[in-house]
Amino acid sequence: MQGLEKVEVFIYFIDSILELHPFNRTEEVYHVTVMPCYDKKLEAARDDFVFQVESQGESNENTGLKITEVDAVLTSGEVLDLIQLKSVDFKALEESALDKLVTNIDEEGTLYGVYGSSGGYADTIFRYAAKTLFGIEIKGPLEFKTIRNSDFREVSLEVGGETVLKFALCYGFRNLQNIVRKIKIGKCDYDFLEVMACPSGCLNGGGQIKPKPGQSAKELIQSLETIYMENVLVADPFENPLIKSLYDEWLEQPGSEKAKGLMHTEYHPVVKSITAQLQNW
């Protein structure tokens, strides 16, 4: 992937949504993400997320410049630590408009989302596949069936008495190990797997805000699930006007070569150096 193209995608977002002039210097952009997991810090440091600018403008000033896609990763727990460190009193702050840059919040302040506060990928793709492949539009929550435990659930679609789609949610390493074994011996019959390393998914991520004294992790997760569904209006992400304009004006259509080249990520094995291997001995 050309480094300049990635920069152009980011510039496109800023320029088309905020109607600002494109950045002249890519190093002036500092990209910070807030994540539920400490492992996202390691992921951001992978070579898969570092690109090199081929050329930029007539001066070629930044040619050869290596840029990380994410400059810093903070966990939600660390954000809380920063707030407490700075003694921020939200009740004393002046009201201000919501920052709606590339978000799922409309002009009235309504927050849109999908079913599933931790994931939602399997839910969304299942509905899209059912509609696109079989002309079936699914309304309401999907009926996931618990298999081994609450962290291993599946949902299927039947047409004419035949199972045509079979998706699963697989959270936690114990469940992941079982799935990997099935894949290795060719006995995994799922069309799509939503995989998360943490039990209960990202809501239980290692970087998340910890339960209050006397509150169990399970109670906190249930509380967060309830709050999410009470405050989020479920909507089809494929109908998001921002996403539609992105494809109409830039990426052509979902699955296009341009979309794959600019929006998809490939992971490669991390090769350990001899020094790193010796340190582990």
The domain ranges of the chain are 3-90, 112-239
CATH number of 112-239: 3.40.950
Find the range with the poorest average confidence among 9-13, 173-177, 203-207, 252-256: 9-13
Supply the pLDDT for residue 27.
63
pLDDT digits (tens, 9 = 90+) for 153-170: 999 999 999 999 999 999
Supply the pLDDT for residue 238.
78
C-alpha 236/C-alpha 97 separation (Å) is 25
Which tops the pLDDT comparison, 75 or 203? Answer: 75
Do the Cβ atoms of 101 and 128 come closer than 8 Å?
Answer: no
Largest CA distance in the chain: 64
Q: Which of 173, 112, 155, 164 is nearest to 136 (CA)?
A: 164
Query: What is the rounded (10 degree) CA torsion for 235, 239, 241, 245?
Result: 150
Find the range with the poorest average confidence among 116-120, 182-186, 261-265, 276-280: 276-280
Look at the alpha carbons of 97, 98, 101, 105 in this order and tell me if their dihedral is positive or negative.
Answer: negative
Q: Looking at the predicted structure, is the pLDDT value of residue 151 above 80?
A: yes
Supply the pLDDT for residue 109.
72
Q: Looking at the predicted structure, is the pLDDT value of residue 268 above 70?
A: yes
Instruction: Indicate the residue type of 176.
Output: L
Find the range with the poorest average confidence among 53-67, 191-205, 225-239: 53-67
Instruction: Indicate the residue type of 42.
Output: L
Q: Looking at the predicted structure, is the pLDDT value of residue 3 above 50?
A: no
Find the range with the poorest average confidence among 80-89, 163-172, 244-253, 268-277: 268-277
Residue partners of 202: CB distance under 8 A and separation at least 6:
36, 37, 118, 119, 196, 208
Q: Looking at the predicted structure, is the pLDDT value of residue 59 above 60?
A: no
Do the Cβ atoms of 31 and 14 come closer than 8 Å?
Answer: no
Do the Cβ atoms of 4 and 67 come closer than 8 Å?
Answer: no
Instruction: Indicate the residue type of 16.
Output: S
Q: What SS3 class is residue 247? A: helix
